[in-house]
Amino acid sequence: MQSVPSKALERLWRVLAALLICKVTVSVLWNYRDYLPPDFSAAFLIGREGYFFGSYSWAFYPHILAGPCTLIIGLLLLSERFRRRFPKWHRILGRIQVACVLLLVAPSGLWMARYAETGAVAAVGFATLAILTGASAVLGWRLAVQRRFAEHRRWMWRCYILLCSAVVLRLLGGLATVADVGADWPYQFAAWISWMVPLSIFELTGFLKRRARLE
């Protein structure tokens, strides 16, 4: 069993992480003034005018609409308190979340990966991320339908951690700007570590908790 201080510490971490996710989501939304209508002198859109109005915009707009929704809905879905108090809402929001991930965020992310800034290394990182996010949503959803709730929770945590790569990527982008690194490699590196590191930490802590329970 967890001690009281370690439970309090875990709770504090969760509150801080939730605040950080909300803060980054608000700053992402703030940038939408450059996208509606598209301003091709804005950082993300520089050099994209040639292909933007084709299939790219059909992926881009659903992506930037659904992405922030999944981050906020995910916070509610992972809250034990919310699930206990509002089980019906947990189920409704859960279905909305899975639909957003499978129909909008993952497929649009996969399509946009082809055009990733800095080229193939980042593109493969984002494409892998899109496939893993979609796969974890499918698995988590199927486990809920089969009423295997402990495994359902673990897969939904994985799915959310993968979605939060969008937050980590922007924090790493901020660091690269502060450090004034002008090269391509920080972005290419970030396209991979923004999801690999948080996912590895989750798997490691899960493993250590399970081992401690067996001792």
Residues in contact with ligand HEM by CB under 6 A are 25, 28, 31, 44, 63-64, 67-68, 70-71, 105-106, 109, 112-113, 115-117, 122, 126, 129-130, 133, 162-163, 165-166
Question: Closest distance between ligand HEM and the C-beta of residue 21, in Å?
Answer: 9
Tell me the residue number closest to ligand HEM, measured at CB. Answer: 67
Question: Closest distance between ligand HEM and the C-beta of residue 38, in Å?
Answer: 11
Distance, in Å, from the CA atom of 36 to the CA atom of 48, rounded to the nearest integer, reads: 15
26-31-32 Cα angle (round to 5): 100
Question: Closest distance between ligand HEM and the C-beta of residue 152, in Å?
Answer: 19
Judged by beta carbon, residue 68 or residue 140, the one nearer ligand HEM is 68
The CA distances from residue 100 to 66, 108, 112, 127, 132, in Å, are 6, 11, 16, 17, 15
Question: Closest distance between ligand HEM and the C-beta of residue 196, in Å?
Answer: 13
Judged by beta carbon, residue 84 or residue 137, the one nearer ligand HEM is 137
Structure tokens at 7: 């439970």
> Cα torsion for 204, 131, 67, 90, to the nearest 10°?
-70
Amino acid at position 182, single letter: G
| 3-state DSSP helix/strand/coil % of the chain, to nearest 5 | 85, 0, 15
Judged by beta carbon, residue 48 or residue 210, the one nearer ligand HEM is 48
Judged by beta carbon, residue 72 or residue 151, the one nearer ligand HEM is 72
Judged by beta carbon, residue 1 or residue 183, the one nearer ligand HEM is 183
